[in-house]
Structure 1
Amino acid sequence: MTPFKLTEELIAQIEELIEHQRDAELNSLLEDVHYADVAEIINELNEDEATYLIKLLDSYKTSDVLTELDEDVREAILSNLSSKEIAEELAELDTDDAADIIGELPQEMVQKVISEIEDREHAKDIVDLLRYDEYSAGGLMAKELVKVRENWNVLTCVKEMRAQAENVTRVHSIYVVDEEDKLIGRLSLKDLLTTSTKTHIKDVYIPKVDSVNVNEKPEEVAKIMSKYDLEAIPVVDEIGRLVGRITIDDIVDVIREEADKDYQMAAGISQDVEADDSILDLTRARLPWLILGLIGGIGAFLIMGGFEEDFKQEQFIIFFFTPLIAAMAGNVGVQSSAIIVQGLANDDLKGSISNRLIKEMLLATLNGIILAILLFVFVWSYEGKVNISFAISISLIAVIIVAGLIGTFVPLFLHKRGIDPAIATGPFITTSNDIFGILIYFMIAKLILGI
């Protein structure tokens, strides 16, 4: 299969076909194009062209296209569709995707769309999903699944599974419930095929099954599915009833969104933004951390000003190494915090905070000694004064140790307080370590030089 490649020539061809309303050629051109690639094409069209293409293509295909579109593009297209047209698109989607889309509609439009969905059971399931928090397992799950009762025999089970599977895009697992719909286990397809048709399900099902509560956070669901290599996981309500399932494609989206958020936060962007967002939105996301950096710079200036009179002219070279000290403090702090944040995200940090701090202190000490030796040789060669070389080198070791401890402690502290620790890997750590690093640098240099 040749990978799809979006080109300017293809976009121009589609725009021309839309302009002249050559529907047959458009259908023929896009017939074998994957829905994700069609979405990529539509993202490059203007609002009228995008709406025209959505209305032209079959709902079986465009329903999936809608789920792949950029949010602002999808919002613009939906605003140009009638409630009946939107309902036709949602009818082709799994309930979780349908609920996500309908949740983006204006409140006055939601009821109209739901009333237009012909499959009342499908509509009921969508409404049921809308009551869950978007950032929970309930808001992430789909209602489509295959479940069997423990008191059925294999023959009845197979008949029921055939009927249920018609509405399920992909059957990952067969779940077993009791008379109250409480999840009690799962069924192996191999056991089902190799067992007598008269055998009861309660005699062959596997009682061990991983599940999550409807109120579980998506990040926790992702950790469970990743740890146990699950393609799907059942979701139960507060009393253990099976209410849905979460599949791996939904979890991949969660992981990607969380990674994007953490990356932006580590870079000092406080809101979820994209490159195409307005200048005002981008400014709001970036400015708070830039202001923090400005405050940090002013703080560093004041610290340096406070030590200006302490160093004689022959010792003034101390000031020239201030950028190096600040940079090393910031780099070490970011490295330490990045490792901790990654460990917290992957849930693989073991041991107590004190043990983690001791380990980081030893690591920082080793790195600091090696870097200090290199710096000592350079300063001595350049300046020829052992006392100044020694003062700068020892200060570097102390700064690196403190920066490593701050970079380790802060994200652990934020995590304990329920605050996203990714905030610690960006300007927060860099700025704080710059200030502490410069202060420690001048204090130790002053002490060693006997000023």
Structure 2
Amino acid sequence: MNEEKVDHIKSLIKEKAQDQIKEYLSELHPADIAELLNDLTSSESKDIFRLLDNEVAADVLVEMDDDMRNEFLELLPSATIAKRLIDHMDTDDAVDLMRDLDTTKQSEILSHIEDVEQAGNIVDLLKYDEHTAGGLMATELVKVNENLSMPECLKEMRMQAEELDNVHYVYVIDDDNRLQGVFPLKKVITSPSVSKVKHVMKKDPISVRVDTPLEEVAQIIEKYDLVALPVVDGIGRLEGIITVDDVMDEIREQAEKDYQLASGISQDVETDDNLFKQTRARLPWLLIGMIGGMGNSVLIEGFSSTLTTEMSYYIPLIGGTGGNVGTQSSALVVQGLANSSLNSKETLKQVTRESVVALVNATIISMLVYIFNFFRFGPTAVITYSVSLSLFSVVMFASIFGTVVPMTLERLKIDPAIATGPFISITNDIVGMMFYLFLTRLLS
């Protein structure tokens, strides 16, 4: 939201021109209103929020960032949240909102929801892990029985569609609510009225189970270009659907988290978070890096009799090369694990492939440095050989280490994105220095 519009709405708030504010807000998308609230003070945003009608207020709340949304929810009574907001949300959005609240507040809100079926659906969805299909799905969908005729099917579709904002697909179920197929809307027009749904439906639709991980859901939607994906339970009963916009939101959040992990930030933070939260998220890896640097200094001190002035010139090269190579290898592996082009069970195969690439890279880098030092220090100087051999060893180690670590973390159910950041750089820096100092002493 540009500064001119923010200043305009602030002036209207000061003038208490509620009618003008309502007219202005009516022209904005809920996402724009949420952005506007984020640019206002706490009291100003609350004044604006009170002027929104229930449906718009619910949509705006969904679009808010987590911190501001939680701030609003803390101030609102449970009855207001239930009747003014939850009643106007799809179940997946309602569940996302409820997850951030403590169990006492959840119970209070649920007790004020008048629609018993909606409350039951929310309770059921809260039981699922938020990073699975069950935790992300919505229960609002259109489904018809396979034995309905075309006129009956059309009537049923109309009745159900009246309660929904969007209809992506029509799903076909049997008498036990098991998913049987997808009903193409075109068939309503082209099929004879005597036909039954089961004769014209598309059988064996692509679906996922409630416990399917979010990453796999996203891959299926991308692979088959789906707008929505049905979710079934262990015996094939239709439980809900996941829409592509919900998946993209979750994947974006996960990508941001992985990027922060790779940058050495241990938890999700924003630029406007308070000082304590930002410090707590960033300090742990900085402390680990400090310890690594201190370890390096002790290592160098132990080899002070071997370390010459010329040798010190190449300390940044050894450490930097090891960190860069390790980060490259681990980044490729993490990317492969994320898009399923690589399996954590293929560790040996990937290590072999990476070793071949590392061998080529190590040979080229070490030979170039050898040629440079050959003319700089002469063919008999220890540094001419030690730097090249150290670089060769560091590149080989960093490549293999950067491959093994993320694949091991994946098998241990730990986010492998950790391996693309300071962990790899610090480790390779220390190991590279050990190679350099030991080889130099050995060749002296």
TM-score w.r.t. structure 1 length?
0.92
SS at match of 2:182: strand
Contact 2:390 2:436 in 1 (8 A): yes
Compute the displacement of 1:340 (Å): 0.5
What's the counterpart of residue 332 of structure 2? 339
Contact 1:84 1:113 in 2 (8 A): yes
SS at match of 1:352: helix
- Please list the CA deviations of residues 265-300 of structure 1 after superposition, one character each: whole Å capped at 9, or x if unmatched: 111111122222222222221222112212211222
1:318 and 2:314 matched: no
Compute the displacement of 1:126 (Å): 2.7
How is 1:410-429 mapped onto 2 (pairs within 5 angstroms)? 410-429=405-424
Contact 2:306 2:440 in 1 (8 A): no
1:79 and 2:74 matched: yes
In 2: Cα distance, 1:258 partner to 1:365 partner:
34
- Counterpart residue identity of residue 363, structure 2: I
In 2: Cα distance, 1:155 partner to 1:123 partner:
32
1:446 and 2:441 matched: yes
Compute the displacement of 1:65 (Å): 0.7
In 1: Cα distance, 2:102 partner to 2:120 partner:
19
SS at match of 2:348: helix
Compute the displacement of 1:386 (Å): 4.4
What's the counterpart of residue 350 of structure 2? 356
Residue identity over aligned pairs, in percent, reads 44
How is 1:289-438 mapped onto 2 (pairs within 5 angstroms)? 289-310=285-306, 315-349=308-342, 352-387=346-381, 388-438=383-433
In 2: Cα distance, 1:386 partner to 1:177 partner:
81
In 1: Cα distance, 2:105 partner to 2:318 partner:
59
Contact 1:211 1:236 in 2 (8 A): yes
In 2: Cα distance, 1:104 partner to 1:436 partner:
43
- Counterpart residue identity of residue 412, structure 2: R
Q: Which of 188, 191, 195 is matched with 2:187 structurally?
A: 191
What's the counterpart of residue 258 of structure 2? 262
Going from structure 1 to structure 2, the CA distance change for 1:357 and 1:107 (only over 3 Å counts) comes to closer
- Counterpart residue identity of residue 348, structure 2: S
Runs of 5+ unmatched residues, structure 1: 1-5
- Counterpart residue identity of residue 290, structure 1: L
In 2: Cα distance, 1:446 partner to 1:368 partner:
21
In 1: Cα distance, 2:309 partner to 2:438 partner:
14
What's the counterpart of residue 9 of structure 2? 14
What's the counterpart of residue 29 of structure 2? 34
- Please list the CA deviations of residues 310-340 of structure 1 after superposition, one character each: whole Å capped at 9, or x if unmatched: 35xxx54123211210110001000110011
Compute the displacement of 1:19 (Å): 2.3
What's the counterpart of residue 152 of structure 2? 156
Q: Which moved more, 1:433-442 or 1:244-253?
A: 433-442
TM-score w.r.t. structure 2 length?
0.94
In 2: Cα distance, 1:431 partner to 1:334 partner:
11
SS at match of 2:356: helix
- Counterpart residue identity of residue 47, structure 1: S
- Counterpart residue identity of residue 304, structure 1: I
SS at match of 2:88: coil
- Please list the CA deviations of residues 225-279 of structure 1 after superposition, one character each: whole Å capped at 9, or x if unmatched: 2222221111112222111111011100111111011111111111122222222
Contact 2:207 2:229 in 1 (8 A): yes
Name the Cα RMSD after superposition: 2.0
Q: How many residues end up aligned between the 2 structures?
A: 441
In 2: Cα distance, 1:317 partner to 1:283 partner:
39
- Please list the CA deviations of residues 322-371 of structure 1 after superposition, one character each: whole Å capped at 9, or x if unmatched: 12101100010001100110110011126932232122122122222222
Compute the displacement of 1:77 (Å): 2.0
Contact 1:88 1:117 in 2 (8 A): no
Contact 1:326 1:433 in 2 (8 A): yes
SS at match of 1:197: coil
Going from structure 1 to structure 2, the CA distance change for 1:130 and 1:356 (only over 3 Å counts) comes to closer
- Counterpart residue identity of residue 122, structure 2: I
Compute the displacement of 1:181 (Å): 0.5
Compute the displacement of 1:53 (Å): 1.0
In 2: Cα distance, 1:23 partner to 1:342 partner:
51
Contact 2:12 2:21 in 1 (8 A): yes
Q: Which moved more, 1:236-245 or 1:115-124?
A: 115-124
What's the counterpart of residue 3 of structure 1? none
- Please list the CA deviations of residues 5-41 of structure 1 after superposition, one character each: whole Å capped at 9, or x if unmatched: x222221221221222211111222221111111100
- Please list the CA deviations of residues 96-134 of structure 1 after superposition, one character each: whole Å capped at 9, or x if unmatched: 112222333454443443344444433333333233333
Going from structure 1 to structure 2, the CA distance change for 1:69 and 1:323 (only over 3 Å counts) comes to same
In 2: Cα distance, 1:77 partner to 1:21 partner:
21
In 1: Cα distance, 2:46 partner to 2:154 partner:
43
What's the counterpart of residue 281 of structure 2? 285
Going from structure 1 to structure 2, the CA distance change for 1:106 and 1:344 (only over 3 Å counts) comes to closer
SS at match of 1:243: strand
Contact 1:59 1:89 in 2 (8 A): yes
Contact 2:206 2:229 in 1 (8 A): yes
In 1: Cα distance, 2:363 partner to 2:100 partner:
56
